[in-house]
Homo-oligomer: A and B are copies of this chain.
Amino acid sequence: MEAGGGCGLTRRQLLRMIGASAGAAAMYQAMSGLGLAAESSFRGPPSLQGAPRGASVLVLGAGLAGMVAAYELRRAGYEVQLLEYNGRAGGRNWSLRGGDRYAELGGAAQHCRFAAGQYFNPGPWRLPYHHHGILHYCRVLGVRLEAFVQTNYNAYLHNTEAYGGKPQRFRAVKADYQGHVAELLAKAAQGGALDGRLTREDQERLLESLRRWGALDRNYAYAAGRASSERRGYARDPGGGASARPAFSQPLRLEDLLGSRLWENLAEGDAYEMQTPLFQPVGGMGAIGEAFACELGPLIRYHAKVVEIRQDERGVTAWYEDARRPGGARRSARADWCVCTIPLSVLGQIPMNVGAAMAEAIAAVPYAAAVKIGLQFKRRFWEQDEQIYGGITYTDLPIGTIGYPSSGYHDGGKAVLLGAYAWGTDAMELTAMAPEERVRQAVAQGARIHPQYPREFDNGVAVAWHRAPFTLGCFALWSEEARAKHYDDLCAIDGRIVLAGEHASYLPAWQEGAVTSALDAIGRLHRRAAAGGAA
């Protein structure tokens, strides 16, 4: 076969067509296609030029909001100090690794016994591609990123009441739902049901698109055959050599699929914050907090439990105790201004002289319950036996989620997966248990999906966020009503104090909320400071 023969004319046409492409019109058109300017509320760190000479800021909390604030304020010339409850920075940005100890409210202590290199993120575990603020700081701080697998077509959807409790591969459920929907709509169109809504020409285009998108056959049916197997997978995969002919698989019946409710989690990966690609820092989410701590090290006072916050006309004072010796001696820290990032669940219990509006806002927001459990197994059976590399299995069991690690693929030795990510009532029940009982629960429930669990289980840790002493909950659970009434008051500068954190954002639970909230807060605080304190 000779290449390119007899294509001269077409080639000239092609060249003409392309000729205009570098021109100004195409340029402008393409430029206006770039989305960032239009969509993101992140415009880089705010310009903080003109910091008053010698001005100081006290930052309460060395989580991401506090450290972003401290990092930028110091860069702008402010004198900055941070008080942090824990013996480490990061807050909910946190990775538990072998050798770590964690004591929760009530005293139960856990000693993490993971193998070297293994970790578990009790808090955030993924970075969406459009969370420009947190990604900016990963870049600035040199935190290496790798892909986080959210949607895994080979992971499971599981409902204890459906298909005899047998987990179904995501790819099969997705292909079959999409195929049946496409067939139903195609048949409805052919029956005239869309005649009032679409022109005949658009209906022809719709049918053509449905056939391709839904993997329908020539008769617009979704049925066993090459088209559907090329989506849902084969009964026997195509292979090589003499006995390699594939066997087609049989789609799930629409009626069964609808009754199974497995469609509930089909669109998880379509959510703006869950869309491919997502990222994770290499070595654990905690790498971000750790990188910040390297930058800000000398400015952070650890084990500092804030017990009172007072502002006057000239500054703000925070009293704190050693968190390891409750009721011990009080010390104080003082600055001209204060950025307070303490979670509302904790802050509400700390005396602070702010106005009624902010005080009411602080009291108005409950915190979401969540429990995450990290389980170490003796081997990566999910990869070795079931070809699940990263991604998530969803189940209606209380554990809710099994998350497989998005790194170390094919590694030998022990490995850690997320054995539970429980919410609401399920989380509350797990919270009420001792940590080791939570781990037992996660193993017993997970065994219904992965029968290898009992034999391969090694050890585990369980973090119940309502028992985390530094947050007393997972994240701010804003109702629409509370937001309408209190959000602006929560964010407004009160005298010399401004709040920041995911709770002061439209992105609750996300690190991006903490970052953008901190940047917004220090921008406003700076303008006030530069104006000599005038509102």
Q: In the complex, how many angstroms separate the beta carbon of A29 from the nearest chain B beta carbon? A: 5
* Among candidates B5, B231, B429, residue contacting A272 with C-beta atoms closer than 8 Å: B231
B188 touches A242 (CB 8 A): no
A275 touches B154 (CB 8 A): yes
**Complex interface: chain B residues within 8 A of A102 (CB):** none
**Complex interface: chain B residues within 8 A of A53 (CB):** none
A36-44, A320-328, A329-337 - the one binding chain B:
A36-44
8 shortest interchain CB distances as A-B pairs: A241-B520, A4-B432, A240-B517, A41-B239, A240-B516, A240-B505, A238-B506, A147-B147
**Complex interface: chain B residues within 8 A of A175 (CB):** 270
A75-83, A179-187, A301-309 - the one binding chain B:
A179-187
A22 touches B444 (CB 8 A): yes
For this chain, the copies found in one complex come to 2
Bound-state Cα–Cα, A174 to B269, Å: 12
Bound-state Cα–Cα, A258 to B213, Å: 12
B240 touches A409 (CB 8 A): no
27 contacts between A and B (CB under 8 A): A2-B466, A4-B466, A10-B429, A21-B447, A26-B451, A30-B165, A30-B167, A39-B234, A129-B154, A146-B147, A152-B277, A181-B210, A185-B185, A188-B193, A188-B194, A191-B193, A205-B261, A209-B264, A212-B263, A231-B271, A232-B272, A240-B506, A240-B517, A241-B500, A244-B506, A245-B506, A277-B389
**Complex interface: chain B residues within 8 A of A194 (CB):** 184, 188
B7 touches A505 (CB 8 A): no
Asked if A356 lies at the interface with its beta carbon under 8 angstroms from chain B, I say no
Other than the given A132-B387, A185-B185, 16 more pairs (CB < 8 A) read A1-B367, A4-B433, A7-B425, A14-B398, A33-B168, A41-B236, A41-B239, A139-B410, A184-B188, A184-B206, A185-B188, A187-B197, A202-B258, A239-B513, A241-B500, A241-B524
A212 touches B264 (CB 8 A): yes
Bound-state Cα–Cα, A380 to B59, Å: 35
B146 touches A146 (CB 8 A): yes
A447 touches B26 (CB 8 A): yes
Least CB separation from A204: chain B residue: B258
B241 touches A491 (CB 8 A): yes
Q: In the complex, how many angstroms separate the beta carbon of A106 from the nearest chain B beta carbon? A: 9
Bound-state Cα–Cα, A191 to B192, Å: 11
Bound-state Cα–Cα, A388 to B263, Å: 29
A447 touches B22 (CB 8 A): yes
B387 touches A239 (CB 8 A): no
Asked if A121 lies at the interface with its beta carbon under 8 angstroms from chain B, I say no
Asked if A101 lies at the interface with its beta carbon under 8 angstroms from chain B, I say no
**Complex interface: chain B residues within 8 A of A120 (CB):** none
> Chain A 225-255, CB within 8 Å of chain B: the 1/0 string?
0000111111111111111111000000011
B35 touches A387 (CB 8 A): yes
> Chain A 504-535, CB within 8 Å of chain B: the 1/0 string?
11110000111111111100100000000000
**Complex interface: chain B residues within 8 A of A272 (CB):** 171, 229-234
Asked if A378 lies at the interface with its beta carbon under 8 angstroms from chain B, I say no
* Among candidates B149, B197, B432, residue contacting A184 with C-beta atoms closer than 8 Å: B197
A184 touches B187 (CB 8 A): no
Q: In the complex, how many angstroms separate the beta carbon of A529 from the nearest chain B beta carbon? A: 16
A429 touches B270 (CB 8 A): no
Bound-state Cα–Cα, A329 to B179, Å: 61
Q: In the complex, how many angstroms separate the beta carbon of A251 from the nearest chain B beta carbon? A: 14
B276 touches A39 (CB 8 A): no
**Complex interface: chain B residues within 8 A of A36 (CB):** 385-387
Bound-state Cα–Cα, A459 to B387, Å: 39
A149 touches B276 (CB 8 A): yes
**Complex interface: chain B residues within 8 A of A74 (CB):** none
| Contact A241-B504, Cβ < 8 Å, known A147-B147, A234-B39 | yes
**Complex interface: chain B residues within 8 A of A447 (CB):** 21-22, 26-27, 30
**Complex interface: chain B residues within 8 A of A497 (CB):** none
